[in-house]
Structures are given as C-alpha cells and as structure tokens.
Amino acid sequence: MTRRKMLIGNWKMYKTVAEARAFAEQLGRSAHLLADSLDYAICPPVTALQTLRVVLPTKVALGAQNIYFEQQGAFTGEVSAEMVRELGARYVIVGHSERRNLFGESDEWVRQKVHTAVASGLTPILCVGEDLRQREQNETMSVVERQTMSGLSDLTGEQVATAVIAYEPVWAIGSGMTPSPEQAEEVIAHIRRVVSDTKGQETAKQIRILYGGSVKPNNIAGFVAQPNIDGALVGGASLEVESFVAMAQAMAGGEQS
Ligand code: PGA
C-alpha cells in the first residue's frame, strides 16, 4: 500500500486570530496549487482554531499543538481533547520537544496524551528525536526507540496504523541545521522497524512517519524522496503562505489539483 504524504504546519505561539484569518484567506486564493495527492494540516494556537475551521480551504485539516490527558476537571490553563475537537481539530501534536524540554513533559505524560487523543477521536502526531548531546554520544537510535515504544504503548496495532510519528532532532528545530535526507531516512527506517517489532509488520507499513526540523521549500524534496519519509512537520516555514505552497509543490513534484 502507498502511504499518502503529509505536510503539517506547526505555528507554535505565532499568529493572532486576525493574522491567522489573513493567512487562511490568502491560502484560499492559492488552494488550486495544493495537489490533491497530499494531506495537509495546520496546527495553530488554540485561539485560532475556530476561525481557521471556517476560513481555511477544506483540503487543509486542522490540528492542535497540545492537549491535557484528562477529559475535564480542575486543571487551570489546560484544554481537553474534546475541546479542540469541537473547534475542528483532527490532529494533535504530542510530545513536541519544546513541550518535553521547556514544560517538563515526561515520556509518561506523552503516553497518556497519545492514549487520550486516540480515545477522543484525534489523530496523534507523536514527536520523537534526540538532542545534540545524545547525538554526539551515539544515542539517537536508543532515544527514538524509547520515545516511540513508550508513546505508542497503550495503542493497538490498528490504532497505531492511523497515527503519525514525527522524527524531529532537537538540534535541527529552528536552527537552520538539518541531518542529510539519508541520515533522517536511517533514523526513520529504524522507527518503522521498532513499530514493526512491537505492533506488527502491517501496522508499520501503514503508519506515516514525518521528518521535522528546519524544513524549507529548498530542502523538503530531498527528505520526502526517501522511501520511509512520508512528509514533513514544519514550523517557521509554515507561517507564510508562499513558503507553505512552495513546500506543497516541491513535495508533489509540480502536480496541481
Ligand atoms: P522548524 O520547527 O521547522 O521551525 O525547525 C519544526 C517543529 O518544531 O516542528
């Protein structure tokens, strides 16, 4: 089976509602440039979900950047899976390195969030990746293995098959540095083997695994040309319509809808 390639934008803490609306209106005028052979999603700040749901072209899905793992309760400042789903989110990013490192999210929290996402009908985008020290100490494979196995441990093979993993080396995020496409492929192929060993070969064939970290219009084609890389999770370069469309076109090889 062929896995549909995905282009997912992670806006982080950028864009007010007015700015998000302007992006969506401009993208709407370029929607014919987004090939139907790819899947698209934008993960805006939670405040912009409702507006984007109305204004974004229908072929671009929505995702949240975070949820809490409880369904409801006295958790000041948190949002639940059901709350973001109600606003149109189909995906949710879980375990992004900024959440792990700046907000202290443990593997255990990430596991619970992935579980809650799936139980609530959201598709989790589980982020895994090594930091610079781990890379220098040759721990890349063991780090992604641990994060992948822990993050998916509550899910059945069927549930894992429709989930998404993003391999994002921490040192490549927002830095302008990237591994070579071949290096990213090697890690992603390893992640797929881990999924195969723990959840079965069929599941591993179906799950989509993306690369993320300083992806730009001029380097995306090299990554997605690799056999195991099913698309990209993009921060900075997803904030402008021109570069979002340029990345989509580079992925589709110039094909239009
Ligand atoms: P970047 O961010 O594309 O700006 O490096 C990627 C991410 O954090 O998902």
Backbone angles phi, psi at 91, to 5 degrees: -115, 165
- Looking up tokens 């809808």 gives 257
Instruction: Give kind and range of the element (H or E) at residue 209.
Output: strand 208-212
Atom of ligand 1 at shortest range from CA of 12 = 8
The tokens of 35 are what? 């090939």
Tell me the fold of 6-252. TIM Barrel (3.20.20)
Helical axes 241-252 vs 17-29, angle rounded to 10°:
40
Residues in the chain: 257
Positions annotated as catalytic residues are 96, 168
Give the Å distance between the CA of 102 and the centre of ligand 1: 15
Note the pTM of the prediction, 2 decimals. Answer: 0.97
Indicate the domain borders of the chain: 6-252
The tokens of 236 are what? 């900075």
Mutation choice for ligand 1 from 12, 234, 243, CB with most ligand atoms inside 8 A: 234
Burial class (CB in 10 A: 0-12, 13-18, 19+), 3: middle
Give the CA-trace dihedral at 17, 19, 23, 28, to 10 degrees.
Answer: 50
DSSP per-residue letters across 82-150: HHHHHTTEEEEEES-HHHHHHS---HHHHHHHHHHHHHTTPEEEEEE---HHHHHTT-HHHHHHHHHHH
Atom of ligand 1 at shortest range from CA of 166 = 9
Kindly give the confidence (pLDDT) of every residue in the chain, 257 residues in length, as a single tens digit, with 9 standing for 90 and above.
689 999 999 999 999 999 999 999 999 999 999 999 999 999 999 999 999 999 999 999 999 999 999 999 999 999 999 999 999 999 999 999 999 999 999 999 999 999 999 999 999 999 999 999 999 999 999 999 999 999 999 999 999 999 999 999 999 999 999 999 999 999 999 999 999 999 999 999 999 999 999 999 999 999 999 999 999 999 999 999 999 999 999 999 856 55
Q: In angstroms, rounded to a whole number, what is the distance separating the alpha carbons of residues 152 and 6? A: 20
Atom of ligand 1 at shortest range from CA of 174 = 5
- Looking up tokens 């895994």 gives 128
Mutation choice for ligand 1 from 173, 214, 244, CB with most ligand atoms inside 8 A: 173
Q: In angstroms, rounded to a whole number, what is the distance separating the alpha carbons of residues 13 and 99? A: 12
Q: What is the mean pLDDT of the chain?
A: 97
pLDDT tens by residue, 129-176: 999 999 999 999 999 999 999 999 999 999 999 999 999 999 999 999
Number of alpha carbons in the 13 Å side-chain half-sphere of residue 162:
12
